[in-house]
A = this chain, B = another copy of it.
């Protein structure tokens, strides 16, 4: 028996966490990709809970950076970055519910070298940006094109190969009245760039508007904690997710479940606020669903909590606070 059968998704989902129907979003059926998370785009697909959806995702640059001699600052046209599949309308989803998204599979696609990472001016964790504004001259632009396969991973150099550890960099639901850049992570998900959002995990997302309007894209073949230079191993994929709906589970921030842990995810600046959001949400979750008082949960997390740094480069920074299920007794 898979752990999934005992997951929150299985226990509370309208579809019991089961795969009940199958759908595909190809580049052709997607047509226009989206650069904002919002309620103004027409759904590309409408599904029932239990739907399995395979989506052809673009890389974060929409495939425009093809050669190591390309200049990202000339080719890229802000704010038309980080193209997203969707939105997927989930029947029955209403404000105050939660969407459960089980990540079944991520497969690289497209001609080699499929992978791209770059260093761009005014973007990254160790350089001046439009918000952490400085007067120094920017670093030079660098483009690295990379050969990726599921089996072998990413050929970083003659000596270094990075294992294929794919995850969804950007996934979330629509805000209720806002339409926010797909470069930003926030309470509805978005560009969290958190490696835990990988194959085998279930992400729980707040539903803010009718139909939930799920978007996803920006898959990474590998990424270190913090996505330091701002750009992971970006690559186009076929990403397959199973979508269920949990009625009346009202989330303030995204949550995540694996076989071993539950996690709350916060996004904010400064970074300690992302950590505070994540830990407080986890405390409240432990209090609401696992029999802890807030004080007990606070003290136990002090001794046994884990914190993962997602990104320290996006408009908000992201951290995931988790605790092992074995402590939830």
Contacts and interface: CB of A to CB of B under 8 A. Distances in A.
Interface residues of A, number: 83
Contacts of A232: 302-303
Interface stretch (A1-9, A57-65, A83-91, A125-133): A125-133
A67 B83 CA distance: 48
Interface string A146-170: 0000000010100110100000000
B131 A134 contact: no
Given A125-B275, A179-B179, A275-B125, A142 B302 contact: no
A309 interface: yes
User: Among A140, A223, A229, which residue has the most Cβ atoms of chain B within 10 A?
Assistant: A229
A35 B117 contact: no
A308 to B, nearest CB: 8
B117 A128 contact: no
A181 interface: yes
Main secondary structure of the interface of A (DSSP, over half): loop
Interface string A248-291: 00001000000000000010111111011101110100000000
A73 to B, nearest CB: 15
A135 B127 contact: yes
Given A136-B136, A137-B137, A179-B177, A302 B271 contact: no
Interface of A: 35-36, 38, 40, 79-80, 117, 119, 124-128, 130-140, 142, 144, 154, 156, 159-160, 162, 175-181, 187, 222-233, 252, 266, 268-273, 275-277, 279-281, 283, 294-295, 298-307, 309, 312, 317, 327, 329
Given A119-B298, A133-B279, 12 more contacts: A38-B179, A126-B276, A127-B136, A134-B280, A140-B295, A154-B303, A179-B179, A227-B302, A228-B298, A228-B301, A231-B302, A268-B269
